[in-house]
């Protein structure tokens, strides 16, 4: 296996670092055959739990973040570079997937949005281009899951919850059968993302007097999804009884989608949880989504400091060296 000498090589092989770290430095059951490689993540079906893979990634993330933080303490990297290199400290259970450091995913969403804007009806070509870049696929998947989690956390009104749940049910179903790009109008997605970015800014400020702006943002996003993105037959099924996954629908959703009713959604007291309770995990979650959606410049040269690059290269290569497996602490002998 060739040594990691450049940032490009680091990016292409970063997915194998957690496996190498856990194989070399974490004692474990050697009789258990471990799956290796970045593509194990992509081979999972939608919604399948990560089990031990998530634990292994968390152990690696702890050490990786310590290394990156030490670079910042020594002033080898800037705050912006540190944010791009760090792995999330708080495991987001709502995502059910590994979160890679943003420097691997930077600019992927803006590029994907440009592709979607110009896609027209060339769904096969768009899907082919997305699947050709595993990091772009990963960024899209994480942004959707994170957005869905944030919206479900914010929406508390019963009518609003029903509408939101039905829409996500439809989208998730399309994700499972692989027909998202074919069914929905991707050219309207950039407009939706603009409103998502606006919503995230409001969430970061978290001011009571901006509640009206948050309500308008929700209404605009709903209008874009139902009138611009969803296909006619998809929207029609929402109008005439919802997704059908709950069997009964005493208050048909089509009554909520005429102009007057649409303006009333999210506006009532208690319909949206805002301002939101602030926690480190919540702030990290919305900051990361904002970073993935708005970082347009490539992070190919992150970190820019040569010494920081050298240290990362040495650390990465050391994980692939032929060395004895790490024994359990209780089996170690002291030097004294």
| Percentage, residues of the chain above pLDDT 90 | 49
pLDDT band, residue 83 (cuts 50/70/90): very high
Phi-psi region of 37 (alpha: psi -120 to 50; beta: other; left: phi over 0): left
How confident is the model at residue 28, as a pLDDT? 64
* Spatial CA neighbour of 205 closest among 144, 149, 276: 276
pTM value is: 0.81
Angle, CA of 169, 173 and 178, to the nearest 5°: 150
- Among the residue ranges 40-49, 280-289, 304-313, the one predicted with the least confidence is 40-49
- Average the pLDDT over 178-201 and give the result: 92
- Average the pLDDT over 238-266 and give the result: 55
Structural domain includes residue 95: yes
pLDDT band, residue 1 (cuts 50/70/90): low
Structural domain includes residue 315: yes
Residues 210 and 92 placed together within one structural domain of the fold:
no
How confident is the model at residue 299, as a pLDDT? 81
Q: Tell me the sheet residues that pair with 272.
A: 155
* Residue 284 lies in domain: 155-296
Residue 214 has pLDDT above 50, yes or no: yes
Residue 40 has pLDDT above 50, yes or no: no
The secondary structure of 174-232 as a DSSP string is HHHHT-HHHHS-GGGHHHHHHHHHHHHHHHHH--GGGHHHHHHHHHHHHHIIIIIIS-H
Residues 167 and 282 placed together within one structural domain of the fold:
yes
pLDDT digits (tens, 9 = 90+) for 125-160: 888 888 899 999 999 999 999 999 999 999 999 999
Residues 159 and 287 placed together within one structural domain of the fold:
yes
Structural domain includes residue 115: no
The secondary structure of 71-104 as a DSSP string is HHHTTSS-HHHHHHHPPPSS--TTT-S----HHH
Residue 307 has pLDDT above 50, yes or no: yes
Residues 291 and 308 placed together within one structural domain of the fold:
no
Residues 318 and 284 placed together within one structural domain of the fold:
no
Contact predicate 189/229, CB 8 Å: yes
Residues 202 and 245 placed together within one structural domain of the fold:
yes
Q: How far apart are CA 154 and CA 274, in angstroms?
A: 7
Residues 292 and 321 placed together within one structural domain of the fold:
no
Residues 331 and 271 placed together within one structural domain of the fold:
no
Residues 204 and 319 placed together within one structural domain of the fold:
no
Structural domain includes residue 80: yes
Residues 286 and 306 placed together within one structural domain of the fold:
no
Q: How far apart are CA 284 and CA 230, in angstroms?
A: 31
Structural domain includes residue 234: yes
Residues 280 and 201 placed together within one structural domain of the fold:
yes
Residue 238 has pLDDT above 50, yes or no: yes
Residues 18 and 83 placed together within one structural domain of the fold:
yes
3-state secondary structure of 133: coil
pLDDT digits (tens, 9 = 90+) for 268-280: 999 999 999 989 9
- Number of domains the chain is built from: 2
Q: How far apart are CA 223 and CA 220, in angstroms?
A: 5
């Amino acid at each position: 296996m060739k040594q990691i000498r450049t940032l490009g090589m680091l990016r292409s092989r970063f997915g194998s670092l957690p496996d190498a770290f856990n194989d070399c430095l974490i004692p474990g059951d050697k009789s258990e055959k471990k799956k290796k490689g970045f593509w194990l993540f992509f081979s999972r079906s939608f919604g399948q739990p990560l089990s031990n893979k998530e634990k292994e990634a968390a152990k690696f993330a702890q050490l990786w973040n310590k290394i990156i933080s030490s670079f910042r303490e020594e002033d080898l990297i800037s705050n912006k570079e540190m944010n791009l290199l760090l792995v999330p400290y708080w495991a987001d259970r709502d995502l059910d997937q590994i979160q890679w450091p943003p420097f691997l995913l930077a600019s992927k969403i803006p590029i994907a949005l440009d592709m979607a804007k110009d896609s027209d009806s060339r769904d096969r070509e768009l899907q082919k281009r997305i699947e050709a870049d595993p990091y772009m696929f990963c960024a899209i998947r994480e942004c959707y899951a994170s957005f869905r989690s944030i919206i479900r956390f914010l929406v508390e009104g019963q009518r609003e919850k029903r509408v939101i749940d039905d829409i996500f049910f439809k989208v998730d179903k399309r994700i499972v059968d692989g027909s998202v790009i074919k069914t929905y109008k991707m050219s309207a997605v950039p407009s939706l993302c603009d409103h998502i970015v606006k919503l995230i800014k409001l969430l970061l400020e978290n001011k009571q007097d901006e509640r009206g702006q948050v309500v308008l943002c929700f209404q605009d996003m709903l209008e874009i999804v139902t009138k611009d993105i969803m296909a006619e037959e998809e929207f029609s099924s929402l109008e005439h009884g919802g997704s059908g996954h709950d069997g009964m629908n005493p208050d048909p959703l089509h009554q909520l989608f005429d102009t007057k009713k649409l303006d009333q959604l999210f506006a009532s007291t208690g319909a949206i949880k805002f301002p939101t309770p602030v926690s480190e995990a919540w702030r990290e979650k919305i900051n990361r989504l904002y970073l993935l959606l708005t970082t347009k410049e490539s992070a190919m040269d992150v970190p820019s400091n040569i010494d920081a690059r050298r240290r990362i290269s040495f650390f990465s290569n050391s994980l692939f060296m032929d060395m004895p497996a790490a024994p359990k602490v209780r089996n170690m002998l002291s030097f004294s």
